[in-house]
Amino acid sequence: MFKLFLRNEMEVGEIKAVGKHIYGNLYGCSENVLADPTFLRNVVIKAIEVARAKLVDVEVYSIEGYNAVIGIVLESHISIHAWPYLKYATVDVFTCGKTDPEAAFNYIIETLKPKKYIKNYVDRSNDL
């Protein structure tokens, strides 16, 4: 638990930090799909909708054979990191509150169509 303060340092109460983190590795994706940062950006935006999260911003980075799309949401983030030449990507969905990170992760899997993937889940509010 931590105490929440307004900007003028008035205490408004104690809250629990509660989050669900789903992340994984995607193998055997289409090289062309992973090489298209605009397509990946649209996938992240739709995943945010599917998760019922609130979009704050989306950043796209492309650096020598690597693409990253990071969607910042009010509840945390959703990202895809892609190495097209390896046909490999990682997905990270971390949200708090009344969101559905698993639905977002599953949407990304359905859209990128990897031949194989590994999915991990962590409750980021352990022992609260």
Tens-digit pLDDT profile for residues 27-68: 999 999 999 999 999 999 999 999 999 999 999 999 999 999
Residues designated as active site: 76, 81, 96
pLDDT of residue 55: 96
Rg of the Cα atoms in the chain: 16
* Predicted TM-score of the model (pTM): 0.83
pLDDT in tens, 8-20: 443 444 445 478 8
Domains belonging to the chain, first-starting first, are 19-123 (3.60.90.10)
Question: 33: Cβ–Cβ under 8 A, 6 or more apart, which residues?
Answer: 39, 40, 112, 113
Alpha carbon distance 87, 115 (integer Å): 10
Percent of the chain with pLDDT over 90: 75
Alpha carbon distance 3, 105 (integer Å): 31
3-state secondary structure of 41: helix
